[in-house]
Amino acid sequence: MRLEKLPADYAKRLSDLECPDFTTRPWVEGKPLKERRVAIVSSAGLTVRGDRVFRGRDADYRAIPSTTSSNDLLCSHISINFDRNGFQEDWNVVFPLDRLNELAAEGAIGSVAATHYSFMGATDPVQMVDGAKEVAGKLKSDQVDAVLLTSV
């Protein structure tokens, strides 16, 4: 987002939002991209139709199988201050599963994870630690070694 396009006070509010101050600097290296198994982890409050919607600033997560159809992915993020038209027209704007599948078919990446995950981005990140660790365990079980994090 080019903040200069927004009203100054609104841009300042976004810019000044409190963020966690991490003291560690983790950095994992790995195989070439064409050998990586990639998952999407989103903070857009995505949920599969029929699964529990995010009702507020929930700290848990939802699983999104790779077999999910675009008609079955909903966005239940609590914030109304971001565009939803893009996602309504094309889910890849938020959840680029079709693009990952194409990249895998082209050999640019190794493969696409069996399951992807979504959190609720309006939640205090500190509360997401347990959920994130759980997701990490599930990603490892799926042999995932690369995660694309998408926010809204």
Partner 1 sequence: MSALGHYLEEEGIASVAIALIRPQAEKTRPPRALWVPFELGRPIGPPSDPVFQKRVVLAALQMLVEPGGPVRIADFPDDDPREAPDSNWRPPIPPSGERGAAAVEAELRTLARAYAGSCTRRERSTVGLSGLPPAQCGEYFAGWLRGERPESPIADMSPALALRFVIDDLKAFALEAALSPGAKPSSQQLGDWLWDETALGAAIQTLRRDFLAGDDERLKQLAFFFVPSLRVAPS
Minimum CB separation of residue 56 from partner 1 in Å reads: 9
Residues 52-91: x where in contact with partner 1 by CB under 8 A, - otherwise, as a string = -x-x-------------xxx-xxxx-x-xxxxxxxxxxxx
> Could you give the 3-state DSSP secondary structure of residue 13?
helix
Six-digit token string for 52: 């529990």
> Could you give the 3-state DSSP secondary structure of residue 109?
coil
Minimum CB separation of residue 122 from partner 1 in Å reads: 10
Sorted by sequence, the CB contacts under 8 Å of residue 30 that are 6+ apart come out as 36, 145, 146
For the segment 95-124, give every residue that binds partner 1 (CB under 8 A): 96, 98-100, 102-103, 108-109, 119, 121
Is residue 9 within 8 Å of 124, Cβ to Cβ? no
Site for partner 1 (CB under 8 A): which residue of 49, 65, 105, 141?
49
Site for partner 1 (CB under 8 A): which residue of 59, 63, 93, 114?
93
21 touches partner 1 by CB under 8 A: yes
Measured in residues, the chain has a length of 152
